[in-house]
Structure 1
Amino acid sequence: MGIYQFGQSVSRIFISTSYKVEIIGKENIPDTGATILCCNHIHYFDPPLLGAYIKRQLHYMAKQELFEKPILKGLLPKLGAFPVRRGMSDKQAIRTAMKLLKEGKMIGLFPEGTRSKNGQLGKGLTGAGFFALRTDAVVIPCAIIGPYRTFKSLKLVYGTPIDFSELRERKASAEEATEVIMTEIKKLIEEHELKS
């Protein structure tokens, strides 16, 4: 078992014993080929949750500051993470993500760029739309529906792929593509909202 699979198992055990987790739509994730999972962001545990219950390895951007910590610096790349400088256009992070997608791998993006302070879906940044338009990747909207409360219900929904063929053909803007992604995430949240 590799480090990623070990980390995935540990995450799965921790999350499953801490919360009543319901996973919906795993069948929407292709077994192979370039794939982008675009998800809302409400908690520190979102990245491990997003990849804990699926077979394929998930690569994701993590803030540069985490890679400056001694232990995480060597560990994060083995867990599929690569650094991104927030608040600016990070060309290296863009190149890394494009390379992974060209190699047919799967990346996870949180289009809001940071965690929501109130649990509500925020505005998406253009990065998600950029990758959706510039590659042939399958784009899957995802929704984490919490909040994270010990032993309480928590949902992770993988939606059906978004058809970007028309937007790619007419060379739509990254902003428009991101809006489409955010609309689909919003629909998933509303459809699967936990009843109090």
Structure 2
Amino acid sequence: MLWFRRAQVAFVLVGVLVPTLCCDWLKRYTDLSDRCLSLLRDLGGPITNKEFPLPFPRKLYQQVKKSEAACKVTFVRNNLGHILDLYEQVNVSKVGWDADNLEELLIVVHRQKAELSACISPAKMEGCFSKELRDYYGRLTNATLNGTEGSSASWELIRSETKMHLQKLHLLVAAM
């Protein structure tokens, strides 16, 4: 009977700790996050300070901050996926960004997403605020890109907003 109780304790510990401990990415996340921010900054000129037409989802980040580690990891992964999807639409020649920096940015973000995907059970990938995040990025696209034919000014607004997301995700991971 003692072995059964130990097995239960071990199972509970594994269930709680695996989402955080199984992932080496937490150790590398700061470096990769810093690299993303650097590449984003170096895409073009100074990042705009113009007001974004859509409010930043601060309440969503506050809710995620209070959730369990596995949910936080899922949220970070899903957020990076939406950023990838967004930036794969950009016409670099039209916007005037450095194509090599954009490509490297996408590679680093994809690497982060892939490493996070390995840490999340397939059942969790669509949970943890994924609907709210998907809706937010849909509104972001509608507010900036739709109707502007991907103008340079629209992409600069998105670049500014992406910087805020990457910084918030960095803080979220640092607090885990």
Q: Same fold (TM over 0.5)?
A: no
Q: Work out which structure has the larger RCO, using CA pairs closer than 8 Å and 6 or more positions apart in sequence.
A: 2
Which structure: greater strand fraction? Answer: 1
Higher helix share: 2
**TM-score computed with the length of structure 2 as normaliser:** 0.30
